């Protein structure tokens, strides 16, 4: 009942970090997370196999690797890999799995000359005791302290997902082994079923259906933008056509954008009128624009941004930015109204 948070090696000892103190010398029962352990064994043995075959087939040496939570990565000392090389490598490693090649662990004395024939990146400076070697029969012999399967058949299958550009002219090869392949297929199948339901067509037509949707969305967005521009001009004209124009103009529109606000400000003109414009969610995040006489905007802009829980910047009578507390627009309006009322007698 005491979780082990981390295990690290210090010289010859495996040091366990636990949440609660244990009595020195006490005997404890260790409960292993076998699903996690077996997953690590599959990925690690899979890495050894891929590394060995990649070097044999193409001369690509492994310089490092990473066991990820969902997928693993092998760093190969090559600037690139072709699709044909990836396909050939995947085919070869899966042939070895089907051949049920044994995986064995040996321990050699530190001064054993055979150690020189074993693939290795060298021993740690604080290493003591025998040297552990993991052999894939007829394929690879590698110095390693990790946990492994006892036979390549336990890997079930390896899937190479492709490559990404690595550091210093190297290539990262992404792979899945064993149960991770099954989980990936299950996830992909669930996604496929969901898309089939949403798009109302078969998996083979999903890509074309999404392309058509993207084209439709782009057209709608373009039309929507044009309509917003027209609405912005009409809003400004309506304000300017009123017999008596207010010194303060306040407007919020959920579906607007920064251009929408600036069109209104441009059309109305800000020499005499103070404009407070907002777009986005009424109660959460959005954009704001304060426009008007230069001195007023310079004075009020930072205070407006602070009230709205946002940040902004401005120049030449415009102060605009992002807000996180759009629900406080009323407080901003009250601030601006108070500012105008105090300015009135002086005018």
Angle made by CA atoms 92, 93, 98, in degrees to the nearest 5:
95
Q: Which residues contact 103 (CB under 8 A, 6 or more apart)?
A: 45, 134, 135, 136, 137, 148, 149, 150, 151, 152
Q: Is the pLDDT of residue 20 over 50?
A: yes
Give the pLDDT confidence of 256-290 residue by residue, as tens digits.
899 999 999 999 887 788 999 999 988 889 999 99
pLDDT digits (tens, 9 = 90+) for 91-143: 999 999 999 999 999 999 988 888 888 888 788 888 888 899 999 999 999 99
From residue 296, how far is each of 42, 273, 279, 304, 338 by CA, in Å? 67, 10, 22, 12, 12
Q: Is residue 314's pLDDT more than 90?
A: no
Per-residue pLDDT at 347 exceeds 60: no
Give the closest residue to 162 by CA, choosing from 151, 170, 172, 149: 172
Cα separation, 67 vs 57, whole angstroms: 23
pLDDT at 346: 45
- The domain ranges of the chain are 34-121+129-189, 220-342
Helices (H) and strands (E) in the chain, counts: 7, 14
What global pTM score does this model have? 0.73
CATH of domain 220-342: 3.10.310.40
How far apart CA 309 and CA 323 sit, in angstroms, is 6
In sequence order, which residues have a C-beta less than 8 Å from that of residue 249 and are 6 or more positions away? 239, 268, 273, 274, 275, 276, 277
34-121+129-189 adopts what CATH topology?
3.30.980
Confidence of residue 233 (pLDDT cuts 50, 70, 90): very high
Q: Are 45 and 103 in contact (CB under 8 A)?
A: yes
Sequence-separated (6 or more) residues with CB below 8 Å from residue 121: 143
Two tokens, residue 271: 């020499």
């Amino acid at each position: 009942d005491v979780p082990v948070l981390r295990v690290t090696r210090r010289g010859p000892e495996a040091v366990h970090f636990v949440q609660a103190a244990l009595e020195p010398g006490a005997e404890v029962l260790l409960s292993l997370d076998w699903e996690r352990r077996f997953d690590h064994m599959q990925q690690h043995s899979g890495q050894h196999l891929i590394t060995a075959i990649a070097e044999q087939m193409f001369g690509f040496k492994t310089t490092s690797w990473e066991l990820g939570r969902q997928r693993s990565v092998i760093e190969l000392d090559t600037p690139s890999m072709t699709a044909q090389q990836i396909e050939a490598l995947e085919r070869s490693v899966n042939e070895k799995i089907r051949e049920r090649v044994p995986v064995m662990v040996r321990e050699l004395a530190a001064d054993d000359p055979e150690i020189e024939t074993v693939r290795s990146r060298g021993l740690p400076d604080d290493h003591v005791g025998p040297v552990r070697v993991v052999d894939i029969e007829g394929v690879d012999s590698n110095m390693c302290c990790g946990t492994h399967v006892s036979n390549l058949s336990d890997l079930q299958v390896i899937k190479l997902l492709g490559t990404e550009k690595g550091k210093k002219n190297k290539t990262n090869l992404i792979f899945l082994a064993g149960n991770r392949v099954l989980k990936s297929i299950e996830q992909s199948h669930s996604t496929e079923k969901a898309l089939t339901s949403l798009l109302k067509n078969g998996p083979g037509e999903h890509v074309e259906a999404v392309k058509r949707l993207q084209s439709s969305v782009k057209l709608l967005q373009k039309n929507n933008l044009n309509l917003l521009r027209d609405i912005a001009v009409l809003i400004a004209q309506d304000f300017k056509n009123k017999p008596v124009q207010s010194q303060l103009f306040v407007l919020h529109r959920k579906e607007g954008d920064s251009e929408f606000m600036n069109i209104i400000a441009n059309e109305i003109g800000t020499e005499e009128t103070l404009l407070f414009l907002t777009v986005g969610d009424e109660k959460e995040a959005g954009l704001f624009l304060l426009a008007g006489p230069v001195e007023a905007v310079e004075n009020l802009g930072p205070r407006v941004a602070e009230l709205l829980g946002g940040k902004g910047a401005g120049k030449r009578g415009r102060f605009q930015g992002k807000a996180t507390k759009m629900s406080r627009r009323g407080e901003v309006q009250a601030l601006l109204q108070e500012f105008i009322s105090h300015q009135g007698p002086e005018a």
